[in-house]
């Protein structure tokens, strides 16, 4: 397994009890931008349409402006400028967090870790 797979870093931005942004929502935003609709994005991620729609609804209620604009009636969906801004800062935080893998702490832990759990 790669060092990346061994050391997981999960960043969640909370709004009250809701997760306003996290790894799954960031991937969904990117897929919507690429595919042009929530249903196509859900298919691309192997996610149900219902779940994708729910995640979009949470995101749109947690930020000061909506991140995704939906035309309704199957007319597709667009990631707004606000959505692009939020996504860019979230990805930047993730990249900075990934830098922890370069430090001595992770190096020491990796050496102390077994490849597989002992039975």
Tokens matching residue 41: 């994005």
Whole-number Å distance between alpha carbons of 89 and 74 = 29
Binder of its own copies out of 34, 81, 82, 84 (CB under 8 A) = 82
Q: In the complex with its own copies, which residue's Cβ is closer, 75 or 109?
A: 109
Whole-number Å distance between alpha carbons of 3 and 33 = 30
Nearest approach, Cβ of residue 22 and its own copies (Å): 9
The region of 30-38, 40-48, 72-80, 90-98 touching its own copies under the rule CB under 8 A is 90-98
Whole-number Å distance between alpha carbons of 83 and 92 = 14
Q: In the complex with its own copies, which residue's Cβ is closer, 65 or 74?
A: 65
CB 100 within 8 A of CB 93: no
Q: Is residue 38 close enough to count as binding its own copies by CB under 8 A?
A: no
Q: In the complex with its own copies, which residue's Cβ is closer, 4 or 75?
A: 4
């Amino acid at each position: 397994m790669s060092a990346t797979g061994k050391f997981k870093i999960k960043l969640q931005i909370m709004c009250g009890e809701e997760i306003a942004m996290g790894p799954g929502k960031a991937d969904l935003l990117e897929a919507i931008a690429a595919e042009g609709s929530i249903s196509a994005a859900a298919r691309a991620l192997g996610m149900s349409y219902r779940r994708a729609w729910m995640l979009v609804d949470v995101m749109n209620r947690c930020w000061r402006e909506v991140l995704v604009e939906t035309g309704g009636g199957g007319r597709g969906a667009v990631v707004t400028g606000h959505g692009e801004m939020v996504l860019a800062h979230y990805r930047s935080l993730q990249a900075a967090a990934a830098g922890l893998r370069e430090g001595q702490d992770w190096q020491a832990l990796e050496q102390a870790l077994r490849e597989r759990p002992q039975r």
